[in-house]
Amino acid sequence: MAKTRDALAYLVLNATTTVPPTLLKLTTLLYLSDWRSAITLKRQITDIKWIQPFVAKASEVGQYLGKNPADFTIATTNQLEVAFVGDPQSIRLPLEERACLDFVLQSYAQKDWPDLFRLAYSTYPMFSQAAQSALDLVALADMYEHSQSTEVAG
């Protein structure tokens, strides 16, 4: 769970603009980060077992955050907003994992919320798998890359 905590902390610290990210945005960013990592690193950053639809994991992410009050707070406004209150120096992520998170954060900075949400739902795992399916992101990334190389070669 240390990787999940560190990824969440990194996203919260770096996705915060004028208001902290909501639980749904944070879950979306985390899913996109794991998908990016599956494609580029052939592994997930977190130990989350994603399902289709990935937003079903928002309650699990919220429960995780609630169990770690020394690191995270959840404020209820119109939606659940997440803040990291732990020590930023305690975040331990390899550079290649930070690069995946930064890639997603850059997309987040360039898109409004509906576009980011649509982006997440347009990923290969979301449209290629049935509802309630367990998502092996690494295997799906391999299938996705194979389908892309087949289309280019065809």
Confidence at residue 151, expressed as pLDDT on a 0 to 100 scale: 60
Q: Which residue range is the domain that position 11 belongs to?
A: 2-153
The answer on pLDDT for 150 being more than 80 is no
The answer on pLDDT for 39 being more than 80 is yes
Number of neighbouring beta carbons within 10 Å of residue 152 = 7
> 23-27, 40-44, 110-114, 147-151: which has the minimum mean pLDDT?
147-151
Question: What percent of the chain is modeled with pLDDT above 70?
Answer: 94
62-117 tens-digit pLDDT: 999 988 899 999 988 778 889 999 999 999 999 999 999 999 999 988 888 899 99
Confidence at residue 26, expressed as pLDDT on a 0 to 100 scale: 93
CA–CA distance, 63 with 50 (Å, rounded to integer): 15
Please state the domain count of the chain.
1
Task: Please report how the helices 137-153 and 23-40 are oriented relative to each other, as an axis angle in degrees rounded to 10.
Answer: 60
Confidence at residue 134, expressed as pLDDT on a 0 to 100 scale: 96
14-33 tens-digit pLDDT: 986 667 789 999 999 999 99
The answer on pLDDT for 145 being more than 60 is yes
Q: What is the DSSP string of 35-81?
A: HHHHHHTSS-SS----BSSGGGGHHHHHHHHHT-TTTEEEEESSSEE
The pTM of the full predicted model, rounded to 2 decimals, is: 0.92
Token digits of residue 135: 């998502």
Token digits of residue 80: 């659940």
User: Average pLDDT over the chain, rounded to whole?
Assistant: 91
CA–CA distance, 10 with 90 (Å, rounded to integer): 10
Task: Output Rg (C-alpha) for the chain, integer angstroms.
Answer: 15
